[in-house]
Structure 1
């Protein structure tokens, strides 16, 4: 049997009708799982636009040179709780590894992270990030005052 999405009362009723019509002389297995939407394309575009602006600002204002990807790693580690754990190599060298991965964030988690990043940049870096209207509308689904 193929996977089916339940999005409406009509979908639910179709599933109930299907289940009621099943031949129960054979055992059946049913699994229902919540679908967690990953971050949206609009959120991803805004994040990387902001990462590029942050990179330029930190270079021009503070002389700190790193790639947008490196600043992304640093800021996610700073702003989002993650489970860091120790790893020891066979030669005894110890490292602490782990950080949250934004590619696995849900839409709501990504919205929260973008809000944290925006606030952090304004408060600690003296940087007001742009809020392109089309991306903000795609992210929040409504027009928000900038």
Structure 2
């Protein structure tokens, strides 16, 4: 179950739900500030644009994604099994505002390359995965 507590009523609804849980099995409950993650429309549009850019550059969409993550978000250094790795930061946890800035960087790259990116009907594209409108 997932609750967004934005009113006293929702807070009470969440408390009532927890109070009704049986003693077994054990449950884990996490309380954290709500953050609206990137939208489905943003994610689908990003990958549509990556396909257009990949066709232009002669590479795979994942390669364009990695390039944009490094250009915009930078890298992180990790030690895994004793080996030092340098990995691009992820777009997964970007909120809608940060994702909009990220997508502006994709548009800027496309402009540099003189590639016209399609702009989908956000609602239809998000809900149906439809073609650009």
Closer/same/farther in 2, CA of residues 138 and 68 from structure 1, 3 Å limit: closer
Q: 1:80 to 1:5 in 2, by over 3 A?
A: same
Query: Kindly tell me: are residues 70 and 130 of structure 1, through their superposed partners in 2, closer, same or farther at Cα, counting changes over 3 Å?
Result: same
1:1-146 equivalences in 2 (<5 Å): 4-8=3-7, 11=10, 14=12, 33-59=32-58, 66-82=59-75, 84-85=76-77, 87=79, 95-122=84-111, 124-132=112-120, 134-135=121-122
Output the TM-score relative to the length of structure 2. Answer: 0.64
Report which of the two structures shows the higher radius of gyration computed on alpha carbons. 1
* TM-score normalised per structure 1: 0.59
Answer whether contact 1:38 1:104 (CA < 8 A) is retained: yes
RMSD: 3.4
5+ residue gaps in structure 2? 16-29, 127-133
1:52 and 1:4 map into 2 onto residues whose CA distance is 36
Cα deviation per residue 1:39-63 (whole Å; 9 max; x = unaligned)? 211111101100000001112xxxx
- In 2, the alpha carbon distance for the partners of 1:121 and 1:136 equals 23
The Cα shift of 1:127 comes to 1.6
Separation (CA, whole Å) in 1 of partners of 2:62 and 2:78: 23
SS for the counterpart of 1:98 is strand
Matched positions, count = 114
